[in-house]
Amino acid sequence: MTQDVMNQTFERFAMQILENNGSDSTPALIGMQSRGVFLAKRIQSAATKLSGIELDFGVLDITFYRDDFRTKLKMPEVKVTDIPFDLYDRDIVLVDDVLYTGRTVRSAMSAILDYGRPRSIKLCCMVDRGHRELPIAPDYVGVDVPTKENEEVRVRVAEMDGEDAVDVVEMTKDGGER
């Protein structure tokens, strides 16, 4: 996926999110650390360009809610969570880069519900790579990529990685790239 395609995708997301908005208040975006934050920002500016509306924007870190952090060797660093608006009765769009097992999204929903009681939560992801382990489905998808378990999907954003791109990389057993 190239930069042009990604930019089109942000515009499409913005259009769909604004279109689906049934309630009085505008939907609010919450980006998941790390890359989801930048994706959500892009969607926010695309929506502003389209409609002149500035969507509320928040940042969520789900380290506290993960069910797997102890099985990893390294203790994950807790990143910033900053939700500067009241979630009560709002329509939330959760933005993540890659949707895989669904466990991250499960954690994110628990986290959001601790901040308040939103009217609804929808899920937006750049890539859906399949292999779900929980009953979770996305509402807005950039691209569906059927993958093998030993492949890794990498979403790169200019703000963090210097360029916009989506790649699928096959991994060897010892964690190296093939």
Partner 1 sequence: MISMPDEYQFSQKHLLGLADYSRDDIAYVLNQAERFREVLDRPVPKIPTLRDKTIVNLFYENSTRTRMSFELAQRRMGADVVNFSASASSVSKGESLRDTIQNIDSMKMDMVVVRHKSPGVAHYLTRCVDAAILNAGDGAHEHPTQALLDMFTLQQKMGSLEGLKVAIIGDIAHSRVVRSDIIGLQKMGAEVTICGPSTFMPLFPETLGAHVSYHLEETLGWADVAIALRIQMERQSDVPSRIPSLGEYHQEYGIKMEHLEMFPDLKIMHPGPINRGVELQDAVADSDRAFILDQVTNGVAVRMAVLYLLSGSIEAESSSRGTASERPSS
**Contact residues: partner 1, CB under 8 A:** 61, 63-65, 69-70, 73-75, 77-82, 110, 113-116
Nearer to partner 1, 11 or 115 (CB): 115
H helices present in 34-87, as ranges: 35-51
CA 31/CA 93 separation, integer angstroms: 8
Nearer to partner 1, 4 or 73 (CB): 73
Q: Would you tell me the crossing angle of helices 35-51 and 3-19 to the nearest 10 degrees?
A: 60
Nearer to partner 1, 92 or 153 (CB): 92
Minimum CB distance to partner 1, residue 19 (Å)? 31
Minimum CB distance to partner 1, residue 123 (Å)? 21
Minimum CB distance to partner 1, residue 64 (Å)? 4
Residue 59: which of 43, 35, 75, 76 has the closest Cα?
35
In this structure, the chain runs to a length of 178
